[in-house]
Amino acid sequence: MNSISKSVLAVILGGGAGTRLYPLTASRSKPAVPIAGKYRLVDIPISNCINSNINRMFVLTQFNSASLNKHIKNTYHFSAFSTGFVDILAAEQTPDNPGWYQGTADAVRQSLRHISNMDFEYILILSGDQLYQMDFSEMLESHRSKRADISIATIPVDERDAPEFGILKSDEENFITSFIEKPNKELLPEWVSDTGAEMQHAGRHYLASMGIYIFSKKALYHLLNEVHPNATDFGKEIIPDSIQNYKVVSFQYDGYWTDIGNIYSFYEANLALTQEIPPFNLFDNNKTVYSRARMLPPAKISGTTLEKTIIAEGSIIHASRIEQSVVGIRSRIGHGTTIVNSYLMGNDYYETIEEMAMNTSKGLPKIGIGERCYIKDAIIDKNCRIGNDVRINGGAHLANTDHALYTVKDGIVVVKKLAILPDGFVI
């Protein structure tokens, strides 16, 4: 075990109720949302840690956490001769703290009593709902060499995105001199930074906090317990107030990073994986994305034209055409069906021939997608039953709505988990 993994503990924040990702978060927490057909969002920060030789991790959860707990328990096992672990810390009520987590800082403060008996010098704080590939050891090296109390990973953003983030300015040694949370558009001219020629050329003039922090142990304890014992949030309270009295450093990251905060960004991030050279590279020997190893057969495809499509293992596909789509594990798609610009999350199990016959006799569609369907601009959640001749035509012409079987947000139709769409259903 090298010195970096001995000195760092990672804390991955499970996030709030995830209302902006509804209905995908109706029965699961944000980090448990399936991504890229076979992973879950939480696999991203955990994989980044493992690839950076950081193998002691706590995942903090409180909302709908059963499926997340199950995924982590079934996925991350380190050798008996390793000190590595991925442990869940669920929000708990205690005699001295009867409340749930109130925000990012409060979640970390409440978990300190479980963490404090461990040997570490630095705490790496990560979000459970971002898509990126980053070597944290470089950020830690910068933190150490500058003897920082806090390091914040930053990314250059453009004028359109800046009001969504904490925006900061730093001096020539990258020490942060000022910070503003979600500034109004009219304030932006005062917050322009030198982000480097390439980023400026792309119109990305503002340094935004990625919500990825390294705290030196002493500074974290002092800030959470003594300076701000009632602060609930890092971005809104702790970081802005620390800049004057602590050494706070910006670590600029120039790679691909997206915050999966809403349905549109989630949909875009998944479909971007189908590009010729995707911005997030799943095919990289040095940046493996780890997930649960499932004993699934290879995908079986018959008579289908495939264009820019990712297909996960265990799928049985007879569709006529699939274009720019992500097809998840154990997907079943019938003859004559066309899928365009869509993410099918797949299924958790296979139906037997007998079960299919019994369901058909009850008028229930088979699990998966039936025959002669047309599905465009959609997300189909897990274990849906979509009958024959179903048309789902998403796009800007559809108004936002929430129906018992589906939700429309920003023109994207999200068919809810376990939904049953009968033959001939039209959206």
Contacts of 8 (CB under 8 A, 6+ apart): 54, 56, 120, 121, 122, 123, 124, 136, 140, 214
CA–CA separation, 118 and 103 (whole Å): 23
Q: What are phi and psi of 64, to 5 degrees?
A: 40, 50
Residue 30 is given by DSSP the state G
Instruction: Please give the pLDDT value at position 270.
Output: 97
Two structure tokens written together for 242 = 């620390």
Q: Cβ atoms within 10 A of the Cβ of 51, count?
A: 19
**Which residue in 401, 139, 415, 379 sits closest to 268, CA to CA?**
379
Domains, the chain, in order of start with CATH, read 3-272 (3.90.550.10), 300-421 (2.160.10.10)
Residue partners of 15: CB distance under 8 A and separation at least 6:
29, 30, 31, 63, 127, 128, 129
Sign of the four-CA dihedral 15, 20, 26, 32 = negative
Residue 124 to residue 12: CA distance in whole angstroms: 8
Question: Locate tokens 């369907």: which residue?
Answer: 373
> In the prediction, which pLDDT does 1 show?
44
The answer to whether 337 touches 394, Cβ cutoff 8 Å, is no
Say which residues have a Cβ less than 8 Å from residue 13's Cβ, sequence separation at least 6.
60, 104, 107, 108, 125, 126, 127, 128
C-alpha Rg value of the chain to the nearest Å: 23
Per-residue confidence (pLDDT) for residue 269, from 0 to 100: 95
Contacts of 284 (CB under 8 A, 6+ apart): 133
pLDDT of residue 278: 93
What's the chain's length in residues? Answer: 427
Buried b (16+ CB within 10 A) or exposed e, 330-348: bbbbbebbbbbbbbbbbbe
Per-residue pLDDT of the chain (427 residues; tens, 9 = 90+): 456 668 999 999 887 667 889 999 898 888 899 999 999 999 999 999 999 999 999 998 876 678 888 888 888 988 888 888 888 887 655 556 656 567 788 888 888 888 888 899 999 999 988 999 999 999 999 999 999 999 999 999 999 889 989 999 999 999 999 999 889 999 999 999 989 899 989 999 999 999 999 999 999 999 998 888 888 888 888 888 889 899 999 999 989 999 888 999 999 999 999 999 999 999 988 899 999 989 999 999 999 999 999 999 999 999 999 999 999 999 999 999 999 999 999 999 999 999 999 998 999 999 999 999 999 999 999 999 999 999 999 999 999 999 999 999 999 999 999 999 999 999 9
